[in-house]
Amino acid sequence: MASSSIEWTEATWNPVTGCSKVSPGCAHCYAERMAHRLQAMGQPNYADGFKLTVQPHMLDYPLHWKRPRRIFVNSMSDLFHEDVKDEYILRVFDVMRRAHWHQFQVLTKRAERLAEINPLIEWPENVWMGVSVENQRFCSRIASLRTCGAAVKFLSVEPLLGPVGEMNVEGIDWVIVGGESGPGARPMKPEWVKQCQLSCTRSGVSFFFKQAGTVLARQWKCSDIKGTIPSEWPIEFRVREYPRPLQLV
C-alpha cells in the first residue's frame, strides 16, 4: 500500500498491476508511465513493466493496516481486466469484506465484465464501485454500473474528453470530473463540466470537480498547472460535494 495524492482517496492497494488500453481515456495513462518508472527503479512488482500481472502476495495488505482508510483498489491496473480470472477477483472482494474498517473504491473501464461477474460477488457495504466515462460514447458504462450490487456507485468522468450531454445519473451516488494533465494533455471545455454538474444537480447526486487539467488550468491562469487549487477556479466549480457514506466507521 501507499498513501495517495489523489484528492478523492487516501491510499492505494494494487493486488493486480499492469493493464491494456480499451478506450481514448487510456491514451496517456499515468499508471503506464509510473509502472515503467518503477520497473527502472527495480521495484519487483513491476519487473514486467505494465504487463498485466496478478500480485497474490499483496492480497492481505489491507488486513494489516489498522487505521481506517479510504483505499483506491488497483490504481495501477483494472480489477475487471479480461485476463484477471473470476476466482482472483472474488479473492480480492473477500479481503475487502474482511477488512471492514476500511472503505474500498474500485474503478473500471470494463463495465461489461463488471455486469457479467456481478451475480458472483457478495458485495460488502464498505466497497464503492465506479466506472470511467470519457465522453458521451461511453455513457453506456453507467447502465452496467447501475446493475451491480455495490452500496455506493460512482463515476469518474476523467479525463473528460468531450461532451456527455444529459447523463442519466439516477442510482449513482457520486460523480468526479476532471481534465487531463501530464504529457500530451488534451483539452477540456468548461461547458462539458457544467453539463455534468447540471445532470448531478437535477438528480441530487454529489458532484466533485477534481482538477481543471493542464489546458484549462492555463486558460484560467491557475498557479498550479493541474488546476487543483479551488480558490483559483470559477466560483461555480469550487463546491466539492462528497457522497453521504463518506464517513469512515
Q: What is the DSSP string of 167-200?
A: ---TT--EEEEE---STTPPP--HHHHHHHHHHH
pLDDT averaged over consecutive 10-residue blocks of the chain (249 residues)? 74 97 96 97 97 98 95 97 98 98 97 98 97 97 97 97 96 96 94 96 95 95 88 92 68
DSSP bridge pairs for 206: 174
Phi and psi angles of residue 178, each rounded to the nearest 5 degrees, phi first:
-160, 155
Rg over alpha carbons for the chain, rounded to the nearest Å, is 17
Q: What are the sequence ranges of the domains in the chain?
A: 2-246
**pLDDT confidence of residue 249:** 47
Collapsing DSSP to helix, strand or coil, 59 comes out as coil
DSSP secondary structure code for residue 17 in this structure: E
- Give the span between the Cα atoms of 28 and 51, in whole angstroms: 16
